[in-house]
Amino acid sequence: MAKVTGLFCVALTCVGLATSASAAKIMLAMTMVMNTVSQHILFSAVTEPLVERGHEVILLAPQHKVTKGLTEGAVTGKIFFKTTRTKEEMDEIASNLQSISLGFSQESFVEILGRISKIFPMTKEGCFRLFEDKETLNRLKEEQFDLIITLPICGCDALLAEYLGIPFIVVTPLRRGPSFNEDIFGIPAPSSYIPFNAMTTFSDQMTFSQRIANILIRYVTEPILKYFTQKGISQIQKDHNIRPDLTIDQIVGKAQLWLTQGDWSFEFAQPITPNYITIGGITVKPAKPLPKEMNDFVEGSGNHGIVIFTLGSVVSSLMNDELNENLATVFSELPQRVLWRLKGTRPRNLGNNTLVSDWLPQNDLLGHPKTKLMIYHGGANGINEIVTHGVPVLLMPLAGDQMGNAVRVQAKGMGFAIDKNTLTEESFREAVHEMLNNPKYTANAKKAAAIMKDQIVPVRDKVVYYIEHILKFGGDHLRTRALELNFIQRESIDVIAFLAALFVVFLLTIRWILLKCCGLCFCRQQKDARPKAD
């Protein structure tokens, strides 16, 4: 009887799961005209398990958008809205991401500002085209979505969620950005030990001058960047009468969940709220066997093992022949074999121990037991793969959050960063030998991998659980009340000012009483000192 009852309970559970899995229609909103391949990979990792559970996931994107990295199993349907750009222009935008990444790492401040000024309009362009497309907006209303998943850049998708009257969640690669951070989401983030910009080299142990800079970044630089990122979006809000009583920040802050591609194995510890969920490692898949020719090359390295050099999915070359020759010379001297992802001119100094290819199965190589070192630019997905497989890493940051990733890797003792703009053959040689010959980097990398894998449930299951939890119950019970307070109230500045005023009044009252008492005593002494009449 007990056995039958147990089976019945299991059956009910399965029916319940199946019902839950087939209930929701989810929009994957990618309204920007440009996204990186790594962002598409992250989205795929989040939505694939939802599709496997039976949910509908519909991609919303501009016409001709390049979605390389988004897997077939990530969505069940697609909706494209009209745009003024041709397919050729969209292809060019996607291909230009490589030069943008390289440019940030070698240009002057003025040149970088020039590049940023060109990028800002593209972050919002898709939003304007979407809200001009009445046909698509009407279709989105008719579809009756249950939830939106988005990467918060300019606030467009949050505005769309408010326009459609449905909840939304945000997904970010590792840490915050100007358009979405702890302040907007109501999470305490003390500037004394939380570096607030992903592109700084600050750690959680900042000097006095760094803490000053961190405060200025948080309350001056970041708001300026956010202003230019969101500029014009408020006009869409006004034109469509979307919650005129709220600011764009307040609308973005209504996100039910914040799924961040970080993990405490390599992130700095900080305060969080129940709706802040780390999903580090979600893009990492089990390593597969290598292609035969590549496997023979790797196995031929013997006990020396291999070194991998790749700059991620966007940048396939440093576009500096002299630097490439220096790197090739150093590689040729190593007892290890080297696998180098490189497009373009092959260095003349290439050694027999170096295999150059325009594509490398990065995750599969990292999972191979003969891998001794990874040389990498520091992109979010690759960092998660590196940490998961426990491989020490020499970082060559180029742009974006890669500087912040390098700082975290160095703080955890898994590796350190080098500057490609000042790199010489000798300095590169010293860095590579330090990484290969000092066992502390491998030990710390293995420890980080063990921490990342020590989870109560697999990260894919965690993502599905939290998203389905929001679908069933909403997210209000997970949200901090800090979102209902303004800055003065949240930081208790009004309370401190009131108590300070009371203290001042108290001191003034005591002073007044003392002066009165002293005055009375003085008068009495004067009276007593007068000569008495005979």
Please report the DSSP string for 234-262 in residue order.
HHHHHHTT--TTS-HHHHHTT-S-EEES-
Q: Give me the residue spans of the domains in the chain.
A: 24-96+122-190+243-283+458-484, 292-453, 492-529
pLDDT for residue 154: 84
DSSP state of 180: B
Sign of CA dihedral 193, 197, 203, 207: negative
Two structure tokens written together for 87: 């397919």
- The single residue listed with the structure tokens 């809000």 is 237
**Virtual torsion, Cα 61, 66, 68, 74, nearest 10 deg:** 20
pLDDT along the chain (534 residues), means of 10: 40 42 83 82 94 94 87 93 85 66 52 62 83 94 94 90 95 83 89 85 90 91 84 88 91 93 90 93 91 92 93 67 89 94 85 90 93 92 92 89 89 92 91 95 96 91 95 91 84 92 94 83 67 55
What is the amino acid identity at position 224?
A: I
- The single residue listed with the structure tokens 């709706």 is 275
Domain boundaries 292-453, corresponding CATH code: 3.40.50.2000
- Topology of domain 24-96+122-190+243-283+458-484 in CATH is Rossmann fold (3.40.50)
CA–CA dist 362, 374 (Å, integer): 10
pLDDT for residue 210: 92
Sign of CA dihedral 306, 311, 317, 318: negative
Two structure tokens written together for 32: 């920007």
What is the amino acid identity at position 207?
A: T
Provide Rg for the chain, Cα atoms.
29
DSSP helix/strand/coil, 320: coil
Comparing CA positions, the residue from 391, 363, 394 lying closest to residue 377 is 394
Domains 24-96+122-190+243-283+458-484 and 292-453 agree in fold: yes
- pTM, two decimals, is 0.83
pLDDT for residue 178: 77
Whether 54 contacts 22, CB under 8 Å: yes
Two structure tokens written together for 320: 């500096």
